[in-house]
Amino acid sequence: MKTKSFLKNLVKGAAILSVAVFVSSCKKNDVDSSGSANVKVVNASQTSPNQGFYLANKTVVNGGLSFANSSAYITTNSGNNLVAEFRSDGSSTPYATGKSDIKNGSSYTVFLAGDGQASRVKIYEDDRSAPASGQAKVRFIHLSDAAPVNIDIRRASGENLAANLGRDVATNFMTVAPGVLSLNVYAAGQSTSLGSFNLSAFAADKTYTVYITGSTANSISVRQITQE
C-alpha cells in the first residue's frame, strides 16, 4: 500500500511540475534579462496616424513614425512571447498588437501592416551579413490587403524575382546587381500587371527590403528600406 501511495504521489507531483513548466513556457513577456536584440520599425500602414512602437511594455520608438518611414536599428529586449504594440501618437490604446519570440543577438524588422481593422504587427528576422562584393542584397515582403493573397513580383523584363508570394510572407534575401530595379506586380500566375514600379537605385554592398503595401486597388505601392 505504501508503494502504491508513493507512486500515486510521484505521478501527481510530475503532473504538477509538467503544468508549471508549460505555464512558464507560455508566459507573456518572458523577457531574457541578460539578452538583447536589434529592432528596426517600419510604418507600412497607409492610413494610420503617426505611430510609436512598444515591445514587452518597453518603449522602442516614442511616436512620430509616419507611413513609409522607418527607424534605425534599436537595441531592445529579447525573450519569448513578447507583446509587440503599435500605438498612435497620444494614445495608450494599441493600434495593432502581436506577439513574437525575439532571439538574443538577432536582428528584426517590425512592420505595422494593413489599415483600420486589418492592422497587424508583422515581425521578420533579418540577415545582416554583407552581400557579395560589389553586389546588393534584397528580400520582398507582401503586405498589401488590396493585392491578391498570392502574387508574383517580376522585373520589367519578365523575370520572376518572387513567385507565388503569400500575403505577410517574406522571401529569402537574394543578390541583385546595383542600380534601379523596375518591377511589375501580378496576381500569381497571371499576365495582367497590378502596377509598375521603379525603385531607387540599389547601392553596391547594401542590403534592402522591398515591401508591397496598399489596402485599395488604387493605393498599391512598392517601398524599399535599407537594412542598416
Cell of 182: 523596375
Claim to verify: residue 95 and residue 38 sit in the same structural domain: yes
pLDDT classification of 27: cutoffs 50, 70, 90 = confident
Cell of 89: 501618437
Phi, psi of 91 (to 5 degrees): -120, 145
Of 146, 118, 150, residue with least CA distance to 213: 146
Give the domain-ending residue among 125, 145, 175: 125
Give yes or no for residue 19 having a pLDDT over 80. Answer: no
Claim to verify: residue 102 and residue 145 sit in the same structural domain: no
Claim to verify: residue 115 and residue 41 sit in the same structural domain: yes
Cell of 67: 507611413
Domain that holds residue 193: 136-226
209, 139 contact by CB (below 8 A) = yes
Domain at 104, CATH number: 2.60.40.2890
Claim to verify: residue 163 and residue 94 sit in the same structural domain: no
pTM of the model: 0.88
pLDDT tens-digit series, residues 150-177: 999 999 999 999 999 999 999 999 999 9
Of 146, 69, 76, 68, residue with least CA distance to 108: 76
Claim to verify: residue 42 and residue 83 sit in the same structural domain: yes
Give the domain-ending residue among 69, 101, 125: 125
Give percent helix, percent strand, percent coil of the chain, each to the nearest 5: 15, 55, 35
Domain at 177, CATH number: 2.60.40.2630
Gap between the Cα atoms of 115 and 152, Å rounded:
22
Claim to verify: residue 58 and residue 94 sit in the same structural domain: yes
Give the domain-ending residue among 65, 92, 125: 125
pLDDT tens-digit series, residues 80-100: 999 999 999 999 999 999 999
Query: Residue 197, SS3?
Result: strand
**H or E element in which residue 22 lies:** helix 2-25
**Total structural domains within the chain:** 2
pLDDT tens-digit series, residues 106-150: 999 999 999 999 999 999 999 999 999 999 999 999 999 999 999
